[in-house]
Structure 1
Amino acid sequence: MSGLNLKALRKAFGPTEIISGVDLEIADGELIVFVGPSGCGKSTLLRLIAGLESVSAGEILIGGRDVTRVDPARRGVAMVFQSYALFPHMTVRQNMGFGMRVNRVPKAEAAERLQKAAALLQLTELLDRKPAQLSGGQRQRVAIGRAIVRDPQVFLFDEPLSNLDAELRVQMRAELAALHARLGATMIYVTHDQVEAMTLADRIVVLRAGRVEQVGAPLHLYDDPDNLFVAGFLGSPRMNFLTAEVQPDGQLRPLGLDVDLPSPIAGLRPGRRVVIGCRPEHVEIGDGPLAATVKTVEQLGNSTFVHADCAGTPIAAELQERWGTRADAALRLALPTEKTQLFDAETGLRIRQ
């Protein structure tokens, strides 16, 4: 296995730039997740690494070797697609072994690799079945097995769980995490699902419009986002945001409200527009300074999400208890100063002490 480096990587289709100068270093054995909204360039970036798209500028190094212009088959990568891409007329054994036959791997070695991969993925009893006789989760394991037998330096996963139902996705996430632990392989995983990103990744790469917004461990990004985009993208419900203006005494007055909130940061210029951010789990319901109106209540059994309106701004609160009230009920909310974060209203960048 090997690490991977991307240096000033760019990709343009005509005058439209899709990937804009991405620099990224991935360590050997690391599981990296590319996450971001549709159209952010995450799948294109993966295809550039795989060699399925040509690079407009920059370099791709795998294990220190420059593979920017190397044929996909010689890069030492194996890709698992969103669609299983299995041959319907072939058995599981034949599907998993197809690439080795094409590459003329000796039969004894090919059989050994296949048996090891099948045992690892619990496919041994299914080797003589065809794809139509398998469940969605089993087909996805076959696709992963086909990648494993190639013994690649880097595994690439392009939204591999998006075609599965919710229960299977949870199961396959656990299986992929366990697989990574057993193989110790370098893996790059693309998804738009932040739950997959948070639960699978050693580090998350958050992308927007072809640029890297922030890179870090899942909980680091959740707790310490660099900008409004990252803060709002990670978390469900997302972080609450209130636009406010700094008062002469340093307090913050949310727009549209006749109430001042203490600032977590001292020395801000009066008149400056900022955005106050607070996670739903930190919002307190009770005797707080913010007047709000309940819109909906989501009872999840072990927790409750209260969605409210505060002077035209939606605010969500998460309670670790069952809590019932009718829509349109009035409540008071508080945003604990030590749990709030500030962002510049113009640039969206985090304001730090």
Structure 2
Amino acid sequence: MMGKRHDWAKIGEVVRKIRELGLSFAEGAKQFEMKVGDLYEYNRRQNRAAASTRAAAKAAKKATRAKQKTEPRPDGAVKAPVDKETKSVSRLPEDVKELICGYRREHPTHGYKRIADLLRQKYLVIVTRKQIRRVLKDAGLLGSCESSFDAEPEPPKGTRRFEAARPGEIWQMDVAYVYIRKVPVLYLVLIVDDHSRFCVAAELCEDQCADTLIGVLHDACSTYGVPGKLLTDQGSGFYSWSGEQTRFQEYLDDQKIEHLVAEPKSPGSEGKVERLVQTLRKELLRRVKFTDIADARTRIADFVRRYNFDRPHQGIQGRSPTDRFHGVAGDLEQVESELADRQLDLSRGYLVYKAQDHRICIVCGSKGLQVYLDGKLLKEAVGE
């Protein structure tokens, strides 16, 4: 038996009337004595027809553009498609291409964003990730280019990422294990400024008792000032499960430092210092075999110095931690915004540029790159 034929034109009129009255399909079906399934089927048909029309229009537009790109010119030649990526790379100075390739050879695991941030920060050269990719591809250096630069662990869903408003407001402190052959386990005590990610302490110690932790913190306070708050985990050197005050907490009270204790199994709480621990493990501790404690201390100190002064950080818009910690990030952003459309010719050795009422001078010499704003040294990148 054949099914009943539908009068879709009539059903369409009912659907329009239902919408005019502001009724739902269920209410409309009851009022106009129709099957609610027929109303939904009409609506699905209309949506499919509209989608097909949009797809056809998009395909026609794409075909027209392709035809315009290859249509004969008045002289009979055919206009070849333009590779935008190749065109943008061809405008890069050769010395910038050499910088990109040289950095890639030295750091084969660093990604496009990391290279772009370093060029902007160290040489005030603005290069896009696509340009970097093309340069590396042309040089045969593409390989696996992961975006491995410093991002804090994502906080759990439903929580918001926190950041202190200024340097010295909150420090984060943690301890990592370091293993050296034929040497008992060592403890790397790290303290990071929450606002800037600047590492104010990285001390390799033989234990993690309260006196040792107090000594590392005291040295950091003597050098960089006393923070308002200190965030730690619930390690025995920092905190007592019995509720009794530890010697470490007594020191914090004496220095008028508020102690913030992270909840157990909350990996996002100490995201800044945890990220530094991960970076140290990945790029130093798992790759280098230290000969002795002195060698480990030297290499860790060199790594932390590069981290603080040379390393672009995703969490602070590609700046180095020292830019934020010492309050020059805003001045550097002003300089870079003025130079965004200009390329620095490294072969000249200097560039003098006037922006509004300010005079910007960039000098590239034997000591590295120096940036001055109205005669004030803003940035110095010492060549290694």
TM-score greater than 0.5 by the shorter chain: no
* Structure (1 or 2) with the greater strand fraction: 1
**Which TM class, normalised by the smaller chain length?**
under 0.3
Per the normalisation by structure 2, the TM-score is 0.21
Per the normalisation by structure 1, the TM-score is 0.22
Q: Which of the pair has more CA radius of gyration?
A: 2
